[in-house]
Amino acid sequence: MTVTTNQTGITNRLLDLIPAASQPQTRKDYTSDQEVRWCPGCGDYAILATVQGFLPELGIARENIAFISGIGCSSRFPYYLKTYGMHSIHGRAPAIATGLAVSRPDLSVWVVTGDGDALSIGGNHLLHALRRNVNIKILMFNNRIYGLTKGQYSPTSEVGKITKSTPYGSLDRPYNPISLVLGAEASFVARSIDSERAHLTSVLRAAATHPGSAFVEIFQNCNIFNDGAFDTLKDRSSKDDATLRLVHGEPLVFGVERDKGIRRAPGGELEVCAATDDGVLVHDAHAAEPGLAFELSRLTGDSAGVTPIGVFRDIDLPTYDEQLNGQISDARARQGEGDLIQLLGSGDTWTVS
Amino acid sequence: MSGQVRDRQIHRLDRVVIRFAGDSGDGMQLTGEQFTSETAAFGNDLSTLPDFPAEIRAPAGTPAGVSGFQLHFSDHDILTPGDAPNMLVAMNPAALKSNLKDLPAGADLVVNTDAFTSANLKKAGYSSDPLTDGTLDGYRVHRVPLSSMTIDAVNALESSTGTVNKKEAERAKNMFALGLMSWLYQRPTDGVVAFLEKKFAKRPEIAAANIAALRAGYNYGETTEAFAVVYEVAPARMKPGRYRRVSGNLALSYGLIAAAELTGLPLFLGSYPITPASDILHELSRHKRFGIRTFQAEDEIAGVGAALGASFGGSLGVTTTSGPGLALKTETIGLAVTLELPLLVVDIQRGGPSTGLPTKTEQADLSMAVHGRNGEAPLPVIAPRSPADCFDAAIEAARLATKYRTPVILLSDGYLANGSEPWLLPDRADLPDLRVTFTTGPNHTGDNGPEFWPYLRDNETLARPWAVPGTPGLEHRIGGLEKADGSGGISYDPANHDRMVRLRQAKIDGIARDIPALDVDDPSGQARVLVLGWGSTYGPIAAACRRVRANGLQVAHAHLRHLFPFPENTGDVVRAYDRILVPEMNLGQLRAMIRAEFLVDAIGYNQVRGLPFKAAELAGVLEDVIKQ
Ligand code: SF4
């Protein structure tokens, strides 16, 4: 398959199946006429602005982009984008997007979902879409709470969370979304933060460039029901010490002074060390096995005092779409196009005169 | 095998019902299928009914593991696989035990005596040997040591292709039985030989063993004195043309492929394995050269979700399932109702509730199909009446779905799915033109010039425009929230919601004007009783009506293909008769709809035994109602 480069240099063998934009686009081209109805101050605004700013960079025809969402605050997203869109039902967006992407390789299909939508009611679809490596890009806004239903704990809420449905504290352990999807052997796994525009844009670019399914967790502040959940990762004063920016091929080093690193402890687990220590690991997002990516996903503020953001894993695997459509073109090349009347008369027939 | 009948009396029969019964591992389905192929080739009309156990491999020799195949064939047109067998072939005691109750006195019975060991009798639950204890008095019993004669026949083979072991030889006994039945009913066997050679092309020694068993069975009939007569059923007079035999699920699969071609849309099937619908997934998966995309989803919900996603993209989205799966798909079907996108939902009904009777037939999903969604969520519901009719019903479902931008539920059932009958192959010119055109330009002028309004309806059909992603300038968002009439933007306005609910209803109600009138079969025009049926009860009801009329009574029969909305004249039809009888394989779901809709005192005749109605029984019920 030939790989061509579009105007901005973003490319992959599947993106190249999508018609290019006839003229340069701007953010305005992606802004719909719908009034945005999230709570003032919600992290969703920043994500929307970043996506609207990023899409023109893709350089593909706007009409060949579709955003599919489920139910929840984040799932209002498609209404605010001037692409094709569907606000579907709770948890099912990956399934609907799968049918669309598989049947229309000329489309760029995105899923917008939340922690409740993707991990609770729709957990099964998320895992299977990623396992199949369908060419869809899944943006999961994780605010660790149910916003639209007004503040119940979610599958990513910390244990002991006091909410309306858990006045004595929530009991169940949260999912670590990155660990979960790596378990499903997702071929592209990344994390970013709503307010980190440049970082989020770079992650979106990497996701768009990746052939196959991409899972992007975006830490998103719900200032109404779970305000400040990611403050340590966002505050100017703490963020450089609290986040580890993953860059493929670069050493795993972080801190305001870039004085801290990640290495393997004698017991085999990852630990924080000095950046100058021996054995600081180099990030390998392209490793065939998801082992290191999984270990990195286990680093959290609680477990290690640092949370990795960026691309955990990005490997090129055959996609479901390519393979399914390939089976069709192979069959046609070998046997020719189907002939209906011939098919109906196949098998044993007899004639009555 | 010339079919010579030496020294035998020939009995001419107008119709025969034969049932093969044995253990799941005995190859009864294959035997029945092959006998059916011979019969089709011979030119009889026919109808078949397989009966499989729910368990894949129940313990061998037990009644739970008995598999059966019934075939009705005749010299005239027939409508059902027959009420009761004239001939039962029982391969073991368990098969005898579970099938004997269906056998009328005087019927023929072939038993494999080799299988009547004390161990097998015990497994079947017999405390004494039915072959000797008088259980079989009143039947014409033919005791045939099928297993040992098969082994002898295979052993006698001087094979250049290699030999088979004793177990493999014994497994060919179903072909011995087939050979014997082929002789008894004077069927040609060349097709079976060709079939076996092809099926076992890679194991020629197995093919040879099976063919030897087939021939031995045939010759056994011809050369021994075990059978005093042979039967002959002359070919039926059927409409000229080219025929094949087709099961409901195969016809439905072909109907979907045809619908894709006729609409000009690529076919996308999102499905999850479930009995008795899986065969449609299997069949469609084979035909990649037609551009068909089949997607075995992680669950029923994803199956219908992916189909709806494909419809959004301009495919003919289809999902196939059975009752429990339809329950899971409910929310997505509701979404399709409000998105107003075409979607075909095929429900091959089985016994319910819950897991129910997965391999048995029932018609008890009608209420769910018509009413089973949250909110006011009307959609067309249609049902085929016979296996071959599944082809036309699938095309009709696609016509309504694409023309009216709506999900359509197609209610087949286990009896139609697995039953088969001859099918007069259609010509390409007989098939309707259903070509779909997508909207490609603005349809409204707003303050800022031309716009696309996704919910601006067609005046006649009330269907909304279908603009697919990839169409420049028509980018739009649709969703499950209520939409403003016309523009399609989100609207919480009370009056708008009221209007949209009524518009969606009016769109579906309007389909009544676009479907054929309900046809009444009332040859004398004198009938005062109407039998109203739907779906797979067509055969038994029509056969029962023939019997009633043959007895000099009058009865009318109407059969609904469209269950929602009803054809426009349905009210006139049901009001024109003194009594309406609605036989259903449920507890009265259509009857309730007819009573509610037309305020007529329809009475029901209801059975939920997992089996189709018997024509004779139904005829008795009809006569009682007529004579009341
Ligand atoms: S409830 Fe929370 S997540 Fe939802 S819109 Fe308001 S701030 Fe955003």
Q: What is the pLDDT of residues B437-451, one digit of tens each?
A: 999 999 999 998 999
B502 & B552 share domain? no
Q: Which helix (H) or strand (E) holds B254?
A: helix B248-263
* Residue B513 in this model has a pLDDT that exceeds 60: yes
Q: What is the mean pLDDT of chain B?
A: 95
Q: What is the mean pLDDT of chain A?
A: 95
Q: What is residue B5's predicted lDDT score, i.e. its pLDDT?
A: 57
Is the CB of B425 less than 8 angstroms away from the CB of A350?
no
Cβ proximity of A272 and A336 under 8 Å: no
Residue B281 contacts residue B294 (beta carbons within 8 Å): yes
Q: Ligand 1 pocket, A72 CB below 6 A?
A: no
In 10 A of CB B568, how many CB atoms? 14
Asked if B289 and B411 sit in the same domain, the reply is yes
pLDDT tens string B300-325: 999 999 999 999 999 999 999 999 99
Residue matched to tokens 């009857």:
B591
Reported ipTM: the value is: 0.96
The three-point CA angle B140-B130-B72 to 5° equals 45
Kindly state whether residue B437 falls inside one of the protein's structural domains. no
Which of B37, B263, B288 should one mutate to test binding to chain A, selecting the residue with the greatest count of A CBs within 10 A? B288
Contact present, B317 and B311 (Cβ < 8 Å): yes
CATH number of the CATH domain containing B352: 3.40.50.970
Contact list in B for residue A335 (CB cut-off 8 A) is 289
Residue B238 lies in a domain: no
Q: What is the CA(B158)–ligand 1 centre distance, in A?
A: 82
End of a domain among B457, B483, B513? B513
Q: Do B302 and A124 touch (CB under 8 A)?
A: yes
Confidence class for position A15, pLDDT limits 50, 70, 90 = confident
Residues 112-171 of A with CB under 8 A from B: 124-125, 127-128
Select from B40, B239, B298 the Cβ nearest to the Cβ of A125: B298
Task: Please tell me which of the candidates A85, A87, A351 has its beta carbon nearest to residue B481.
Answer: A87
The single-letter DSSP state of residue B246 is E
What would be the CATH architecture of the domain defined by A4-229+318-328? 3-Layer(aba) Sandwich (3.40)
| Residue of B41, B331, B477 with shortest CB distance to A78 | B477
- CA of B253: which chain A residue's CA is closest? A344
Mutate to test the pocket of ligand 1, among A37, A117, A223 (most ligand atoms within 8 A of CB): A223
pLDDT (0 to 100) of residue A2:
35
What is the tens place of the pLDDT at every residue in B566-619?
Answer: 999 999 999 999 999 999 999 999 999 999 999 999 999 999 999 999 999 999
When divided into structural domains, chain B yields a total of 4
Within-domain flag for B622? yes
Domain limit, last residue, from B233, B259, B283:
B233
Residue B389 sits in the same domain as residue B260: yes
Q: What is the mean pLDDT of residues B548-571?
A: 98
Check whether residue B140 and residue B218 sit in a common domain.
Answer: yes
Ligand 1 pocket, A143 CB below 6 A? yes
Alpha-carbon distance A172 to B53, whole Å?
43
B236, B178, B249: which is closest to B29 by C-alpha? B178
Say if CB B383 and CB B593 are below 8 A apart.
no
Ligand 1 atom nearest A223 alpha carbon: 7
Asked whether A141 lines ligand 1 (CB < 6 A), one says no
List the domain boundaries for chain A: 4-229+318-328
Please tell me whether residues B257 and B395 are part of one structural domain: yes
Ligand 1 in reach of A225 Cβ (< 6 A): yes
* Percent with pLDDT over 90 in chain B: 91
* pLDDT confidence of residue B227: 85
Ligand 1 site, residue A73, Cβ cutoff 6 A: yes
For residue B171, give Cα distances in angstroms to A18, B61, B93, B317: 57, 14, 17, 43
Q: Which of B310, B339, B477 sits opposite A79 (nearest CB)?
A: B477
Tens of pLDDT, residue by residue over A41-83, are: 999 999 999 999 999 999 999 999 999 999 999 999 999 999 9
DSSP 8-state class, residue B115: G
Cβ contact B305–A337 (<8 Å): no
- Chain B residues near residue A337 by CB distance under 8 angstroms: 289-291
- Which atom belonging to ligand 1 lies closest to the Cα atom of A220? 3
Whether the per-residue pLDDT at B383 is higher than 80: the answer is yes
- Mutate which of B283, B312, B331, B487 to disrupt the A interface (most A C-beta within 10 Å)? B312
Q: Would you say residue B16 has pLDDT above 60?
A: yes
Residue B527 maps to which CATH number?
3.40.50.920
Q: Could you tell me if B97 and B224 lie in one domain?
A: yes
Ligand 1 and A147: CB distance under 6 A = yes
Q: Which residue of A has its CA nearest to B258?
A: A340
Over 80: is that where the pLDDT of B7 sits?
no
Name the residue among A63, A82, A352 with its Cβ closest to that of B43: A352
Residue A123, burial from CB neighbour count under 10 angstroms (0-12, 13-18, 19+): middle
Answer yes or no: is B438 within a domain.
no
Last residue of a domain, one of B233, B254, B275: B233
Residue type (1 letter), B124:
A
> What was the pLDDT predicted at B53?
79
Nearest CB to B40; choose among A66, A89, A350: A350
For residue B160, what pLDDT band results from cuts at 50, 70 and 90?
low
- What pLDDT is attached to residue A236? 94
Judge if B228 and B317 occupy the same domain: no
Whether B501 is in a domain gets the answer: yes
Model confidence at A3, in pLDDT bands (50, 70, 90)?
very low
Domain check: are B358 and B389 in the same one?
Answer: yes
Section B229-236 average pLDDT:
91
Q: Same domain for B130 and B262?
A: no
**pLDDT at residue B161, as a whole number:** 66
pTM: predicted TM-score of the whole model, two decimal places: 0.94
The reply to whether residue B477 touches residue A87, judged by beta carbons under 8 angstroms, is yes
Predicted confidence at residue A13, as pLDDT, reads 84
Q: Which residues of B touch A125 (CB under 8 A)?
A: 298, 301-302, 305
pLDDT confidence of residue A6:
43
pLDDT category, B159, cuts 50, 70, 90?
low
Q: For residue A327, which residues of chain B lie inside 8 Å, CB to CB?
A: 288
- Pick the residue of A28, A124, A339, A350 with the most B CBs within 10 A to test the interface with B by mutation: A350
HEC letters along chain A: CCCCCCCCCCCCCCHHHCCECCCCCCHHHHECCCCCCCCCCCHHHHHHHHHHHHHHHHCECHHHEEEEECCCCHHHHHHHECCEEEECCCCCHHHHHHHHHHHCCCCEEEEEEEHHHHHHHCHHHHHHHHHHCCCEEEEEEECCCCCCCCCCCCCCCCCCCCECCECCCCCCCCCCHHHHHHHCCCCEEEEEECCCHHHHHHHHHHHHHCCCCEEEEEECCCCCCCCCCCHHHHCCCCHHHHEEEECCCCECEECCCCCEEEEECCCCCEEEEECCCCCECECCCCCCCCHHHHHHHCCCHHHHCCEEEEEEEECCCCCHHHHHHHHHHHHHHHHCCCCHHHHHCCCCEEEEC
Measured over the CA atoms of residue B590, residue B595, residue B598 and residue B600, the dihedral's sign is: positive
Residue B595: give the domain boundaries: 520-627
In this prediction, residue B51 carries a pLDDT of 87
Q: Domain for residue B55, yes or no?
A: yes
Please report the pLDDT score of residue B246 as a whole number.
Answer: 95
Considering the domain boundaries, does residue B433 fall inside one? no
- Co-location of B506 and B525 in the same domain: no
- Alpha carbon distance B191, B199 (integer Å): 12
CB contact under 8 A, A331 and B480: no
Ligand 1 atom at minimum distance from A141 CA: 3
Q: Are residues B407 and B484 in the same domain?
A: no
How confident is the model at residue B72, as a pLDDT?
96
- Mean pLDDT within A187-215: 97
The strands making up A270-274's β-sheet, listed across from edge to edge, are A253-254, A260-264, A270-274
Expressed in angstroms and rounded, the spacing between residue A37 Cα and the centre of ligand 1 is 9
Please tell me whether residues B495 and B531 are part of one structural domain. Answer: no
With a cut of 70, say whether residue A227 has pLDDT above it: yes
Query: Is some CB atom of chain B closer than 8 A to the CB atom of A64?
Result: yes
* Per-residue model confidence (pLDDT) at position B9: 86
Q: What pLDDT digit, counting tens, does each position of A247-264 carry?
A: 999 999 999 999 999 999
**Chain A nearest C-alpha distance from B586 (Å):** 32
pLDDT of res. A33: 87
Whether B239 maps to a domain, the answer reads no
Q: Please, which pLDDT band fits residue B283 given cuts at 50, 70 and 90?
A: very high
